[in-house]
Structure 1
Amino acid sequence: MAGVATARMRMSRVALLPVLVFAACTLPVAAAAWWGPVVLLLPALAAAWVLRVGVDVGPAGITPRTLLPGSTVPWDEVAGLRVGEGQELYVVRTAGTETKLPVVRARDLPRLAALSGGRIPDPTA
């Protein structure tokens, strides 16, 4: 799989619309007090979360992306996937530990399987 680019699974950019409404709602507070501009950090953080959080799948492995830096789970350490109670997905490592995959749900398993290049079996096949 040398030369294959990393595929990204991210939240829909439509999720920025509520963030824009939230930013508009914080403007009166930001203009009313001397400490108000600090309130504008909340919509900025929400926008950063929408744009950053997701999963990268590439030749090196699976990389969960959050606002904070994370680490890649190499393919040789992937024992499988686990579906949680809320349909969230977890990567189960060969050591027995789990890493949550943000934004990705059980309904995304066929797409995740396709992006993995056959390393993750497609449950619908």
Structure 2
Amino acid sequence: MLTFVGGTPLALSEWWLTPILLIPVGIAVWAWRSGVDATGDGLRVRGLVGSRRFAWSEIEAFGVARRQAFAILHQGVRVPLPAVRREDLPRLIAASGSELVAEDVEEDDTED
């Protein structure tokens, strides 16, 4: 909201700057739309333009790295879970009705 109000004077100063207002609108839609829905069947991970479904049987574990929670699939693929924090993982695991594991993953930020 603050970026929309702050960008309005700039966007209205010239007609060709009006599309600047689409940036805060896009951010607001992304924040409203993204998330994770957990049901008895599995997870639905929602993004800005689409969603992906994963059955609980496809998920091997959950992990956290740099404050980002993710699901680890049997193929080793990590699926980011938007809006899910470390504190939310026990409730997410409980929704699965199985014995999935939550892991802390340490990643090296240094480049060789």
Give the structure-1-normalised TM-score.
0.72
Structure 1 residues 37 and 109: alpha-carbon distance in aligned structure 2, compared to 1, 3 A threshold: same
Matched, 1:41 2:18: no
Unaligned runs of 5+ in 2: 103-112
The aligned residue for residue 107 of structure 2 is none
The aligned residue for residue 87 of structure 1 is 67
Structure 1 residues 52 and 73: alpha-carbon distance in aligned structure 2, compared to 1, 3 A threshold: same
State whether residues 62 and 69 of structure 2, in contact with CA within 8 Å, keep that contact through their aligned partners in structure 1: yes
CA distance in 1, matches of 2:75, 2:37: 21
Report sequence identity in percent: 30
CA distance in 1, matches of 2:84, 2:10: 35
Structure 1 residues 120 and 68: alpha-carbon distance in aligned structure 2, compared to 1, 3 A threshold: farther
Unaligned runs of 5+ in 1: 1-19
Give the structure-2-normalised TM-score.
0.79
Structure 1 residues 52 and 83: alpha-carbon distance in aligned structure 2, compared to 1, 3 A threshold: same
CA distance in 1, matches of 2:41, 2:101: 20
Q: After the TM superposition, which segments of 4 or more aligned residues of structure 1 sit over 6 Å from their partners?
A: none
Matched, 1:62 2:43: yes
- Which of the residues 30, 40, 47 maps onto 2:11? 30
Q: Any residues of structure 2 matched to 1:67-78 within 5 Å, and which?
A: 67-78=48-59
Query: C-alpha displacement at 1:61, in angstroms?
Result: 1.0
State whether residues 93 and 99 of structure 2, in contact with CA within 8 Å, keep that contact through their aligned partners in structure 1: yes
CA distance in 1, matches of 2:96, 2:63: 19
Aligned length: 102
